[in-house]
Amino acid sequence: MNGQPAAGGWRAALSVRWGHRFLAVLKKEFRQIGRDPLSLGLLIGVPSLLLLLYGYALTFDVKHIAVAVLDEDRTPASRAFLEALLENPYFDRTCALEDRRKGDALLLQGRVRSVIVVPRGFSTGLSRGERVVVQALVDGADATSAATVEGYLHALAERVTRVAQERTFAATGLAPLLPVVLVEPRIWFNPDLESGKFLVPGLIAMLLMLSCVIATSLSIVREKERQTLEQMMVSPLRPIEFVLGKTAPYVLIGLVTMVVILSVGYVFFDVAIRGSFLLLGVATLLFLVAALGMGVMISSSTHSQQIAFQVAVIATILPSFLLSGFIFPIRNMPVVIQAVTYLVPPRYFVSAIRGVILKDATFAMIWPNLAALLALGVFFNLVALRKTRKTL
């Protein structure tokens, strides 16, 4: 009976000592951050500035495409067709051509992206209900933009042709020969197909990953360079207390940064959060644990801030941009590359926050992503603890 209270008291004392040591490291890290307000401002402000820069620079919206026109028919019907085809934000009519050779020269010089040629007999064939071919020469040097231009032209030409047929046959009193089946698309989650609403969540993941990993990757190696780590080695400090004390301040900073970035995204890109703020906070917290664990792992494995910074940049920017599904769909990648993406935390965070922000996703919809973030966070932090144990 007497041994049990003694054991309980020993555990309580050990717990108190553990808490004191953890708080000591936590206070020390906060003091170091407070002594360098510029770095703190960079951690919070730079991601927001980069979000503005990338948010406006990166876009999939292809608009104001320079187009030259060669109207060989020169009839009211051909002019009405061209006006209906080009009077929109997607195309800018730059010039009217007299012959095809001039159009070839403009495409070669890159002054226009497309040349539209309306053939002779356009109005006659349209009035007879015949199939009329309008030629569109498209600059294919940029394959993505060329495919987008081609899609725009097909969709607009089909709509304009249908309206022209309706008017022509209505004037003659004949029934229009229109398709029996028409597709009426309804766009969910992003009705205006604004690329900003697709890109901003991915940018949030990339920038948050970059700032958190770089910040923590410099924390332990800074102690090595200042030779203050030797003092900790002779103290009763444990690796888990050291790692938690080093990362906890950056968890708070990361959450503040997330709030600032979301505010910037709402104000400048109209990206509103449709789903649960609590679920978004949980996803962010799990992502921060994984990102900060990676940073501590890098910091404990390197011996200078310069090397730690370079490794952190390489380990965050390229994987976050290329392997997270931020821009390039993962299912289109080779199988070997798809396997590598399972080790990239932004892969799961991008999917989770896109679901919460754009689709009002529930926990049941994104829990696999949250579980993956938790697993990666545990893995990175265990590796960091092992590396730190060899140091302390």
- Taking only the tens place, the pLDDT of each residue in 198-207 is 888 888 888 8
pLDDT digits (tens, 9 = 90+) for 305-329: 888 888 888 888 888 888 888 888 8
Burial of 145 (0-12, 13-18, 19+ CB in 10 A): middle
132: helix, strand or coil: coil
Beta-bridge partners for 95: 68
Which part of the chain is CATH 3.40.1710.10?
Answer: 65-172
Give the per-residue pLDDT at 5.
Answer: 47
138 closest CA partner among 165, 102, 118, 112: 112
Give the per-residue pLDDT at 3.
Answer: 47
d(CA 78, CA 121): 9
Where the chain has pLDDT below 70, the residues are 1-22, 38-39, 42, 60-61, 129, 161-185, 193, 227-237, 389-392
pTM of the entire predicted model: 0.75
d(CA 378, CA 383): 9
Give the per-residue pLDDT at 101.
Answer: 82
| CA neighbours closer than 13 Å in the CB half-sphere of residue 310 | 5
Give the helix ranges, DSSP H, for 90-226: 100-109, 122-127, 143-172, 195-217, 219-226
Rg (CA), the chain: 30
61: helix, strand or coil: coil
Give the per-residue pLDDT at 315.
Answer: 86
65-172 in CATH: which number?
Answer: 3.40.1710.10
148 closest CA partner among 162, 163, 164, 136: 136
pLDDT digits (tens, 9 = 90+) for 111-125: 888 888 888 888 887
